[in-house]
Amino acid sequence: MSFKFLCDATVLKLAKWLRFLGQDTESTHFHEPDALLKIADAENRVILTRNTEFNRLPYKNVYVLESDFLFEQLKDVIKHFNIREPRILTRCSKCNAPLLDIPHENVRGKVPYFTYKNFNEFKFCPVCNKIYWRGSHIDLMIKRLKKEGIWELLF
């Protein structure tokens, strides 16, 4: 089963890491329950929050995270929603849009020369025009997930 998430102001950093794993994750600076529920209902999303007000009210499609620590939060979400098989480089880390392939010749002058010469596969965001490639930053993120004991939960 696939979920669509909405990270509120209390867990904004979590959104980036969920997007890195290929999860459809919007984020907002709102933290008030009424505003969040309107967005979540309209877009059929599960709210991820640290706001304990939700614990006292009969809201569904809300998951209140207990930890203040990013990687504990990520671990919790992966376990609770049974997230498996990460789809790295499929979503924009900034705006959540699905990434599209872009031909190598079309990134010339848009990425550093070293990157253009040493990488052949690129993706871009059709919304914010950010260009992505599988550089060392991807390996560093995976290494961090392994260090935190998260990577193995995904398989």
Report yes or no on 154 lying in a domain: no
Geometric angle at alpha carbon 65, from 61 and 70, rounded to 5°: 125
Do 44 and 78 lie in one domain? The reply is yes
Cβ neighbours, 10 Å, residue 24: 18
Give residue 33's domain range: 5-88
Q: What is the pTM of this model?
A: 0.93
Alpha-helix runs per DSSP H in 9-135: 12-20, 33-43, 70-80, 113-118
Segment 75-133, tens digit of pLDDT = 999 999 999 999 999 999 999 999 999 999 999 999 999 999 999 999 999 999 999 99
Integer Cα distance of 90 and 123 in angstroms:
8
Domain boundary at 48, 68, 88, which?
A: 88
Residue recorded with tokens 């969920």? 18
Task: Give bridge partners of residue 100 from the DSSP assignment.
Answer: 124
- The number of distinct structural domains making up the chain is 2
Do 72 and 116 lie in one domain? The reply is no
Do 40 and 80 lie in one domain? The reply is yes
Do 75 and 118 lie in one domain? The reply is no
Do 25 and 67 lie in one domain? The reply is yes
